[in-house]
């Protein structure tokens, strides 16, 4: 297979580690911190996790003498959507295991969690690992969205682990995947099984974080990749000077990606779902806001601009969220009857006839295309697939209609010609930035230390990320610390609480301070492509979000 010059050069990149992880791994000991508690619902979670709730945070220190690490046969699983840096988590895990004890073995379960259930695996070797260092994608073993959550599945996991003498599992995934890791760790402890489970925080959406998980891996690379594309479009818009570009960005449950891209590119308008919800805004409110901004720029002779829209915006609009919830419940109850209908029009009419008066009013106001997308196949949770709803096209239609109305009332609105874009998959498998290459390698290396100390039910934690990698801190936090109880499929279940954009946080406050100026002026910035070589201030910088969150 022909390898590009960049790929060859990235193979040779040596990820930077926190100072403590550069010490002799044989001389590192765990330091036990203070006990923890969950984000909320403490009593309920104590009952569900009697063996792993309330565990302390841990860090590492150099001990006085070398010690032989316990032999580990480790299974690693990539779970959920791809995120840049996943390969480096595995590489860091592998390298640390080999340094701790050359007899250690790393099993890569193929195709995500289903790999362990079906006992499909490969054994990691130097030759294999070296082909994937610092590369994007999850293709070393593939990923999947099978959930590990039932007793029957846990029994299969136990059997497979016993058959290979596996005494540790690392699950690399997002909030759902690491919730499953916590439940699996609790099961093993309850059954007195000597199998340690550790998680690594992954999601480009950026919604898996707290004070001990400052960033989920892949967010840095994905936002820089999207920002390059947005900057290219901004430059084109400023050159052609005749199009309004509506750009929808990946991120269902939180607007972190959209906000970070706005901070990097300074578009004319950026919608933040959390603000829309907090202000109880309707589609009409959003439309009016955009149309007024377009008219204001038209007065200055600028009939062009760029608007960023978060993928999950439609669920943040209260009236649409209520409609979606009602449709989800309706389709769950009438699945057979609904699926028996043979045309899109018939399905739309069926749903329209069964909605409440308030939801029917909202549903009837939507274009036919959006109605069809709302009724498309549900995701594994039984919810609408937000990524298939073309919110940017909905807004183009509503804004165009509003501008025509404003013109009829004598308001000067200039010329409006719009183009739509959706950026999602473009960012999931990019070559990881130096930040993500370093961070992910550190997460994997650190996970091996947690396994060696038998810290089951923990999430690998690297903090101090706004500083140079040399100053990062390594340790682990109990996964239960990040959990709460939420309604899923009609019953309350333990899940990791999603971290949303904080409207009183520094990143949003900075954006809020500047957005009026950006709306009227052409203040575009052009981040350009991710840089891998050169000065640290060019190549090793974290996201603007992370810098602002850690401003002192």
What does 2-33 look like in DSSP terms, one character per residue?
---HHHHHHHT------GGGGS-GGGEEEEEE
In total, the chain counts a number of residues equal to 552
Tokens of 528: 């350009």
Give the DSSP per-residue string, 272-322: -HHHHHHTT--HHHHHHHHHHHHHHHHHTT---EEEEEETTHHHHSHHHHH
The answer to whether 220 is a known catalytic residue is no
CA 440, 203, 198, 108 torsion-angle sign: negative
Sign of the C-alpha dihedral, residues 32, 34, 40, 43?
positive
Which alpha helices (DSSP H) does 101-163 contain, by range?
113-117, 126-130, 151-163
Alpha-carbon distance of 454 to 187, in angstroms, equals: 15
At residue 90, φ and ψ (nearest 5 deg) are: -65, -40
Distance CA 392, CA 310 (A): 9
DSSP 501: P
Helix 256-265 with 506-520: angle, nearest 10 deg: 50
Catalytic hit among 95, 205, 438, 540: 205
b/e string for 270-300 if b means 16 or more Cβ within 10 A?
Answer: bbbbbbbbeeebbbeebbbbbbbbbbbbbee
How far apart CA 149 and CA 185 sit, in angstroms, is: 11
CA angle 206, 112, 478 (to 5 degrees): 50
Q: Which of 404, 459, 139, 163 is nearest to 294 (CA)?
A: 404
**Which residues are marked as active site?**
205
């Amino acid at each position: 297979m022909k390898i590009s010059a960049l790929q060859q050069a990235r193979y040779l990149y040596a990820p930077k580690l926190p100072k403590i992880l550069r010490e002799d791994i044989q001389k590192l000991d765990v330091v036990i911190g203070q006990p923890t508690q969950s984000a909320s619902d403490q009593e309920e979670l104590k009952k569900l996790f009697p063996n792993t709730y309330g565990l302390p945070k841990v860090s590492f220190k150099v001990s006085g003498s070398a010690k032989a690490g316990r032999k580990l046969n480790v299974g690693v699983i990539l779970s959920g959507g791809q995120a840049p840096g996943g390969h480096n988590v595995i590489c860091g895990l592998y390298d640390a295991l080999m340094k701790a004890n050359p007899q250690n073995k790393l099993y890569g379960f193929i195709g995500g969690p289903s790999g362990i259930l079906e006992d499909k695996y490969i054994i990691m070797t130097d030759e294999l690992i070296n082909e994937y260092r610092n590369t994007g994608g999850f293709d070393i073993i593939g990923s999947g969205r099978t959930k590990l959550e039932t007793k029957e599945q846990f029994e299969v996991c136990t059997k497979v682990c016993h058959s290979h003498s596996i005494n540790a599992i690392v699950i690399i995934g997002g909030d759902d995947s690491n919730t499953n890791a916590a439940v699996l760790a609790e099961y093993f402890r309850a059954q007195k099984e000597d199998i340690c489970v550790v998680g690594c925080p992954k999601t480009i959406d950026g919604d898996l974080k707290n004070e001990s998980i400052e960033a989920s891996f892949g967010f840095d690379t994905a936002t820089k990749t999207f920002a390059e594309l947005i900057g290219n479009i901004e430059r084109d818009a400023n050159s052609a000077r005749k199009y309004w570009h509506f750009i929808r960005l990946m991120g269902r449950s939180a607007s972190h990606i959209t906000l970070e891209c706005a901070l990097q590119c300074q578009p004319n308008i950026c919608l933040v779902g959390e603000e829309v919800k907090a202000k109880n805004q309707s589609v009409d409110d959003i439309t009016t806001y955009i149309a007024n901004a377009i008219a204001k720029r038209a007065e200055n002779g600028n009939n062009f601009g760029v608007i960023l829209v978060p993928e999950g915006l439609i669920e943040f609009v209260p009236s649409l969220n209520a409609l979606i919830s009602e449709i989800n419940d309706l389709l769950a109850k009438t699945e057979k009857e609904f699926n028996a209908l043979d045309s899109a029009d018939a399905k739309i009419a069926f749903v329209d006839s069964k909605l409440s008066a308030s939801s029917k009013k909202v549903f009837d106001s939507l274009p036919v295309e959006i109605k069809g997308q709302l009724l498309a196949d549900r995701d594994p949770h039984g919810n609408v697939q937000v990524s298939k709803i073309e919110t940017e096209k909905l807004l183009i239609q509503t804004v165009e209609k509003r501008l025509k109305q404003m013109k009829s009332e004598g308001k000067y609105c200039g010329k409006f010609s719009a183009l739509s874009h959706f950026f999602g998959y473009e960012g999931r498998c990019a070559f990881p930035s130096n930040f993500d290459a370093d961070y992910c390698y550190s997460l994997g290396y650190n996970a091996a230390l947690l396994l060696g100390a038998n810290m089951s039910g923990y999430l690998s934690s690297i903090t101090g990320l706004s500083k140079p990698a040399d100053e990062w801190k390594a340790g682990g936090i109990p996964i239960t610390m990040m959990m709460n109880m939420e309604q899923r499929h009609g019953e309350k279940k333990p899940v990791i609480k999603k971290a949303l954009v904080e409207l009183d946080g520094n990143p949003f406050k900075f954006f809020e301070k500047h957005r009026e100026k950006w709306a009227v002026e052409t203040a575009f910035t052009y981040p350009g492509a991710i840089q891998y070589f050169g000065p640290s201030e060019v190549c090793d910088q974290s996201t603007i979000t992370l810098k602002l969150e850690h401003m002192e």
